[in-house]
């Protein structure tokens, strides 16, 4: 076994640069990638169980939310029996994969990162088509995918080998980290490459085997990630791929006695169901399952009267309406000092009026569609509630087009206790709330069951210091927007109903997928 002194040394981690689409060559590359994706639409993708392709009679499809009649991919519909087979196959593969040296597992992660880097435009184009991200948002998703692979690879090298402990006379003693077993990875659709790859590779690089069950809204991107991981060298037996309904397949995977852990990103409601199911011992289960949960948010930006109002307007607009507000980190509440409230709202409305909405393959559109007809109906329902709870000063309706387009919507004069100020909407809807002073703003910001991200705009150092201590969120941003966490720089995860504060992209994230083993040997003098 490698010791800490003999571990592989790699270059210091650096975030993957974003693509500059103002450069003609990059614009042409993205346009070509979109055409390639269009030429491949309708392709059928298999499941993989125990290294074998699996085709089912029942099928499910993925469509383009910008053009709902356009089918992106055809997928298999797994049953609970398939889930059982996948867990059993993963448990068998674990006995081999866990013995693969960490350095080899890391090499595969780095190779996968290189393949994605080489196919960056293709992956981004597919993200754009399947979940409606703009060019810039899709590129950020792809860059984060690369970042996760590179970062977690380096972190595994840090955790590999023997770790020193307090010496004891007459003993040789040290600590090692070993994998857990079979992991179930259930990613969301809103970061279909980054989160799917991030949770999967964090599990694999630490020596666990994985069953990846993607969201029904984004199976094509997940299938591409799986293909790339296989190409990079992940054994097909170590990574199983199942597609199907979460309430059937996901439920069976979570409850299986040989499932050791579940890594989930998604809604509060589903996360709580997983937490409850994972906490119940089933016949044959010999461990306490771990549940690594990243859930929702009702994220607030506080705008103080001593803030740079124009900077705050830009930050709030970007965080509220970037990717149509479909980020758990999105700003859905702007809490503004009453001294500048009217000015802020006026400036924000003027800024948001400039936002263009339309098909995501058109780089001229800042906002694309929401992900599905169901999402659109839910968001429009919340807007109807908001019309009764406050004053709609911008938007409030569907936007033109065949896709699932919704206007950027700002609702002013909202009570802190209103539904649109308390419940996660996951769409381009912003509630603007008036605060008496900074302390009142903090009180409003913390008066929610969530605690994911938050931002504060103020030039007053004492207020900034107070926010650092009192604003109860996992990721706090000062004088900048509350979205756009970067791997390594902003370990991501929240408090309360926002999840288990897993801190993806952070130095202790891999510990969720490892367990420590202390070894002491008596030695002669």
Per-residue pLDDT of the chain (525 residues; tens, 9 = 90+): 344 333 457 999 999 999 999 999 999 999 999 999 999 999 999 999 999 999 999 999 999 999 999 999 999 999 999 999 999 999 999 999 999 999 999 999 999 999 999 999 999 999 999 999 999 999 999 999 999 999 999 999 999 999 999 999 999 999 999 999 999 999 999 999 999 999 999 999 999 999 999 999 999 999 999 999 999 999 999 999 999 999 999 999 999 999 999 999 999 999 999 999 999 999 999 999 999 999 999 999 999 999 999 999 999 999 999 999 999 999 999 999 999 999 999 999 999 999 999 999 999 999 999 999 999 999 999 999 999 999 999 999 999 999 999 999 999 999 999 999 999 999 999 999 999 999 999 999 999 999 999 999 999 999 999 999 999 999 999 999 999 999 999 999 999 999 999 999 999 999 999 999 999 999 986
User: Is the backbone of residue 484 left (phi > 0), alpha (psi -120 to 50) or beta?
Assistant: left
Query: Out of 328, 361, 389, 424, which one is annotated catalytic?
Result: 328
Assigned CATH for 23-295+502-519? 3.40.605.10
328 catalytic, yes or no?
yes
Distance from C-alpha of 504 to C-alpha of 490, rounded to nearest angstrom: 9
Full-model pTM: 0.97
Cα three-residue angle 149-153-154, rounded to 5 degrees: 125
Displacement of CA 164 from its chain's centroid (Å): 34
CATH class, 299-486 region: alpha beta
Contact between residue 453 and residue 483 where contact means Cβ atoms under 8 Å apart: yes
Query: Out of 16, 216, 294, 389, which one is annotated catalytic?
Result: 294
And the tokens for 180? Answer: 């857990």
The crossing angle, in degrees rounded to 10, of helices 120-131 and 102-118 is 80
294 catalytic, yes or no?
yes
By the 10 Å C-beta count (0-12 exposed, 13-18 middle, 19+ buried), 238 is classed as buried
Distance from C-alpha of 234 to C-alpha of 226, rounded to nearest angstrom: 9
Domain boundaries, the chain: 23-295+502-519, 299-486
């Amino acid at each position: 076994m490698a010791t800490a002194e003999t571990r592989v040394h790699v270059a210091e981690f650096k975030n993957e640069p974003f693509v500059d689409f103002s450069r003609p060559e990059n614009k042409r590359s993205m346009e070509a990638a979109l055409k390639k994706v269009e030429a491949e639409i309708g392709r059928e993708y298999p499941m993989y169980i125990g290294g074998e392709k699996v085709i089912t009679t029942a099928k499910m499809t993925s469509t383009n939310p910008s053009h709902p009649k356009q089918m992106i991919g055809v997928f298999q519909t797994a049953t609970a029996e398939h889930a059982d087979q996948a867990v059993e196959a993963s448990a068998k593969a674990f006995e081999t994969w866990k013995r693969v040296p960490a350095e080899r597992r890391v090499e595969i992660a780095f190779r996968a990162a290189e393949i994605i880097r080489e196919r960056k435009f293709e992956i981004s184009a597919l993200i754009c088509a399947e979940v409606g991200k703009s060019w810039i948002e899709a590129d950020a998703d792809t860059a984060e995918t690369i970042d996760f692979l590179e970062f977690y690879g380096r972190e595994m090298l840090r955790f590999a080998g023997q770790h020193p402990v307090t010496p004891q006379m007459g003993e040789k003693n040290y600590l090692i980290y070993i994998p857990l077993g079979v992991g179930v990875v259930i990613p969301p659709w809103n970061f279909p490459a980054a989160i799917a790859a991030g949770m999967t590779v964090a599990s694999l690089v630490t020596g666990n085997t994985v069953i990846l069950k993607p969201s029904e809204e984004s199976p094509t991107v997940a299938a591409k990630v799986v293909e790339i991981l296989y190409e990079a060298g992940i054994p097909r037996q170590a990574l199983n791929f199942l597609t199907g309904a979460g309430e059937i397949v996901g439920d069976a995977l979570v409850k299986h006695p040989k499932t050791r852990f579940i890594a989930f990103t998604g809604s509060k409601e589903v996360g709580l169901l997983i937490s409850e199911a994972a906490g119940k011992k089933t016949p044959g289960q010999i461990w306490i399952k771990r549940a690594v949960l990243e859930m929702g948010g009702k994220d607030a930006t506080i705008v103080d009267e001593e803030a740079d109002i124009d900077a705050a307007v830009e930050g709030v607009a970007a965080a509220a309406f970037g990717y149509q507000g479909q980020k758990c980190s999105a700003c859905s509440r702007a809490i503004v000092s009453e001294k500048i409230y009217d000015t802020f709202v006026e400036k924000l409305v003027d800024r948001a009026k400039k936002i263009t909405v339309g098909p995501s393959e058109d780089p001229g559109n800042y906002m694309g569609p929401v992900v599905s007809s169901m999402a659109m109906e839910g968001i429009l329902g919340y807007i109807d509630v908001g019309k009764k709870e406050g004053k709609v000063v911008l938007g409030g309706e569907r936007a033109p087009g065949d896709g699932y387009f919704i206007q950027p919507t700002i609702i002013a004069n909202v009570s802190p206790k209103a539904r649109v100020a308390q419940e996660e909407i996951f769409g381009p809807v912003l509630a603007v709330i008036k605060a008496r002073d900074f302390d009142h703003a903090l009180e409003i910001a913390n008066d929610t069951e969530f605690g994911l991200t938050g931002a504060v705009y103020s030039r007053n150092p004492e207020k900034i210091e107070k926010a650092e201590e009192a604003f109860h969120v996992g990721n706090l941003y000062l004088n900048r927007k509350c979205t756009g966490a970067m791997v390594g720089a902003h370990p991501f995860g929240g408090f309360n109903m926002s999840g288990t504060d897993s801190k993806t992209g952070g130095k202790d994230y891999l510990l969720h997928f490892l367990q420590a083993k202390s070894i002491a040997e008596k030695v002669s003098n």
